[in-house]
Amino acid sequence: MQPFRTILFATDFSEGSDEAFRLACSVSAENKTRLIVFHVVEPNWVAKEPVHFTQLSVEFYRGLPEEGRLEAIQQKMREIYTPNHPLDIEYDAREGDPSVEILHVAEEVRSDLIVMRTHGRTGLHWLLGGSVAIAVLRGAHCSVLAIHSTEHPRKTEEIGVILHPTDFSKGSESARRVARLLARDLGARLVVLHVAPFDILADGTMVAPLDPRVFRDTLEEMRQRLDGPDLKYPVETRFTQGDAAAEVLRVAEELGCGLLVMGTHGRTGLGRVLMGSVVEFVMPRAACPVLVVKSLPQVAAMP
């Protein structure tokens, strides 16, 4: 079963946006996925007249959109963003605040996934900047796939390893299911990671938590449930101790990870993700795309 049936791809036309679009297409099912290509433009702010030379401040109001502006942008999107396999694709452009409009359209179309870059490299760098990505992540009702800008854009076929950090909570179940589905569909290795924090005593001494064998046994049980003949590679596990965010980034780099799939708690609001705001730390620093999965009841039950 395809985990994402309606995908909202937010673009700022920056360098590397093609990578984000290809990734959005790669998690789309032929003739089954609705893909909305969306762009937000800055409102047309007009100075309130009269404006005198000696004025200390100028009052602005939001003017009407320039005639044909949004239609021209939609035509540009049609020319640039064309999927390589049949999809139900739509193009939309609106004026307003980027995060507000992205969240509004996501609710409007009932998207299962929002795909966006965390940094832009054009004059509209404010559109998909890190703060916008975090605002969307916190407010979205659905999953968010954030792609950090890099000097050397990756190709979707280079996603050879999918890393799924888990804290064994119910909030990570949907993420685990999606990670497995993507590993199956992309023919990638699936690696499940658990990071156990060190306990800090009153005197500041750091000590190991419970017997590591407990975590390793839990990981092995999970691996056995996830493994199956439909996967190209056997499921792997990793267990480390330390700071969760730092270890996720370290292991991802060590494995040459092509995609991080992380879970979150709750329908909206970031909540607790792997012991706190780990996803907020990881997302802008990871060298690979980060998929943050919220509860997906439509995903078929699996181990």
Give Cα separations from 207 to 142, 183, 203 (angstroms): 38, 36, 11
* Res 202: pLDDT: 52
Q: CB of 149 within 8 A of CB of 237?
A: no
Half-sphere exposure in the Cβ direction for 37 (13 Å, CA): 26
Q: With 50 as the cut, is the pLDDT of residue 264 above it?
A: yes
Q: With 50 as the cut, is the pLDDT of residue 208 above it?
A: yes
The share of the chain scoring above pLDDT 90, in percent, equals: 41
Query: Between 24 and 128, whose confidence is greater?
Result: 24
User: What's the token pair of residue 66?
Assistant: 């320039």
* Res 126: pLDDT: 39
* Res 168: pLDDT: 86
* Res 251: pLDDT: 97
Set out the domains of the chain in order of their start, with CATH numbers.
6-45+64-147 (3.40.50.620), 159-293 (3.40.50.620)
Q: With 90 as the cut, is the pLDDT of residue 123 above it?
A: no
* Res 46: pLDDT: 55
Half-sphere exposure in the Cβ direction for 266 (13 Å, CA): 10
Mean pLDDT, the chain, whole residue set: 80
Name the pTM for this structure. 0.81
